[in-house]
Amino acid sequence: MGLGSTDADHHGSDAMTGTEAGGPKHVAIIMDGNGRWAQRRAKPRLYGHHAGARRVRQIVEACPGLGVSHLTIFAFSTENWKRTQTEVAGLMSLFRRYIERETQALNAAGVRVRFIGDRIRLDGKLVALMDHLEQVTADNDSLHLTVALNYGSRDEVARATQRLAYEVAAGRINPSGVNENTLAQFLDTHVLPDPDLVIRTSGEARISNFLLWQSAYAEYEFINTLWPDFTPEVFARVIDRFGARDRRFGGVTR
């Protein structure tokens, strides 16, 4: 695929993992470790976030060759507002510039982009760019890229519950018919399949309020690599390991 890369950039990841059946179709990633990566180089934290953004491009490019049709990435959580004003403003500016710069390449590569999370607290200019990117790429399907921005699972479930409650109050939904599927239809992710694999980089073994509902049966990989060092080769190895797992979804397979 495009995004300004050449074939030589793909480092033969097909040979390492291939697109064998049984690989994860939907991979979700908590991209952690940008700050430590920068700290180790005696640079400001935003330097690490910029390196992390460059890595996003490579991981997006690698997905189709690895058999991944859906990629969901955690860019900014509902808790990340607690960071310094400098870091938050720097990240917001990074997101704006990233969208401006990548819109054309993402579209040319056939990537469909969606955003999940609450847009209410985001700057109007950023929201306009997000809306535009979603519209421009709406007919693509080589990869479904979902960016979680001002996203938190509990917030998502609370917002979904509020919308469901309005529907019940208006008489359009009968409370006795409410089940898992009903609630799932009100989640930000309602059009997406559940993740098969959730990866967190940087050695932390936490979920941090990411896709709690959707990952009920996902496999988890906590890896030590810091996000800016998460190369397509590392990604390919993690995907390979997934193939060896026995997913039973609460049942018995043998």
Using CB under 6 A as the binding rule, whether residue 36 contacts ligand FPP is answered as yes
Residues in the chain: 254
Residues near ligand FPP (CB under 6 A), total:
20
Contact segment (CB under 6 A) with ligand FPP among 46-54, 108-116, 211-219, 243-251 equals: 46-54
> 10 vs 51, 100, 101, 112, 152, CA distance in Å?
19, 24, 21, 21, 33
Closest CA to 107 of 69, 130, 138: 138
The CA R_g of the chain, rounded to the nearest whole Å, is 19
- Known catalytic membership, residue 32: yes
Q: Which CB sits closer to ligand FPP, 36 or 247?
A: 36
Judged by CB, which is closer to ligand FPP: 53, or 236? 53
d(CA 52, CA 35): 10
Exactly one of 29, 46, 56, 111 binds ligand FPP (CB under 6 A); that residue is: 56
Q: Which of 1, 28, 46, 53 binds ligand FPP (CB under 6 A)?
A: 53
Name the residue among 129, 125, 105 with its Cα closest to residue 115.
129
Which residues does the annotation mark as catalytic?
Answer: 32, 80
Q: Which residues bind ligand FPP (CB under 6 A)?
A: 31-36, 45, 49, 52-53, 56, 73, 75, 80, 94-95, 98, 147, 202, 227
